[in-house]
Amino acid sequence: MRPFSSDHDTSGRGPLSGLVVIDLTRALAGPHAAMMLGDLGATVIKVERPGGDDSRGWGPPFAGDESTYFLSANRNKLSITLDLTSPDDHGTLRRLVERADVLMENFRPGVLDRLGLPVRRLAELNPRLVVLSITGFGHDGPEAGRPGYDQIAQGEAGLMALTGSGPDDPQRVGVPVADLLAGIHGAYGVLAALIDRRRTGRGQVVRTSLLAGVVGVHAFQGTRWTVAGQRGRAEGNHHPSICPYGLFPTRDGVVQLAVGSQDLWNRFCAEFGLDPGADGMATNAARVSRRDHVIALVERLFADDDTEPLLARLAAAGIPAGRVRDVDEVYQWEQTRSQGLLLPVRHRTLGDITLPGPPLRFFDLSGTETTFAGHTAPPVLGGDSDAVHAWLAEEPEAAGEERW
């Protein structure tokens, strides 16, 4: 259901069409989670204080008066401004809660209570409501009250210690990945709670945090410690458990190489005239234990080759390899375009713009693509307030509500 007569009203349907999401979040983790549901066809009503989401001021760069940071996390949403210290506006929020399927918030623990909307009150207003709550370090425990900022979370959750040229060179990931992971985990938690609601008829609270989002993707670096007692460290652009697997210089640039199986090692050796069973290189474990030697060997092999012919040679031999693209090259790459990862939309003040597109596509079993096509640009501040108030003034039956 997209019941609003506005620039954001579309006829496109997605798998979450009919779902109404109230987005009380700001900055990135929560807005990203809400945008993921909007990308799937949900009606997302972004509730902003009169000054707007903090990220509306995060720049440069700006496009006109619009922050490109805000544009990255708020497509497929409507915006209404509410001053939650005002009794009238607080009443509007309560009516939204009564009509919604999902409420998302990323306040510090206790803030929603102080706003007069603790979980028990939300359940009274709408027992079917699913609540997503995102914090920096968790909702309980000795450091629950800490504010959540991405780079701090990257450091505290161990990611920076695993990223960089070496143990003395901790580096942040080039995007706010702790925020993004918390949002992604939060969105899939909401979907699980909605499925459970179909069975029980009742909503529930989903909690996650920036800390949990990063620890949740430690993958082999986590079990490396918890099972093997081995502490991971930053090791530059080479894999700690597979060799050769990493970034290698060429005469005019670099290539990425991934020799991820014994069969690929045999192919690599055949292509470059090496003995796959040579002493200290016959197995992956042996190569990892002599990683510096193997890396130096591959670097010598590639030193006199230009990048493009080398990539073509590796591809012909069936050996996974790739280049390192700048961001502008990624968006100019035909493969990126072919996957629907560039999204043209019309913005109310900027006109026609292109956004990075959502990462999911859908097809029916006959092979016909059914991906949601009704995408809309991020909203201007408060631009849909009149439409949202008009919807709230209608009786639910008259609005023809479809309960997801």
β-bridge partners, 394: none
The HSE-up count of residue 148 (CA atoms within 13 Å, CB side) is 34
Q: Give the torsion through C-alpha atoms of 306, 312, 314, 315, to 10 deg.
A: 160
From residue 204, how far is each of 128, 178, 346 by CA, in Å? 8, 24, 36
For the chain, what is the radius of gyration of the CA atoms? Answer: 25
Q: Sign of the CA dihedral 335, 340, 345, 350?
A: negative
300 Cβ neighbours under 8 A, 6+ residues apart? none
Would you say 39 and 120 are in contact if contact means Cβ atoms under 8 Å apart? no
Gap between the Cα atoms of 360 and 340, Å rounded: 9
Tokens 């929560």 -> residue = 30
CA 302 to chain centroid: 35
Structure tokens, 224: 């490396």
Gap between the Cα atoms of 295 and 313, Å rounded: 19
β-bridge partners, 134: 208
Write down the catalytic residue from 23, 101, 150, 179.
Answer: 179
Tokens 């901790």 -> residue = 170
The question of whether 196 is a catalytic residue gets the answer no
Would you say 158 and 127 are in contact if contact means Cβ atoms under 8 Å apart? no
Active site residues: 179
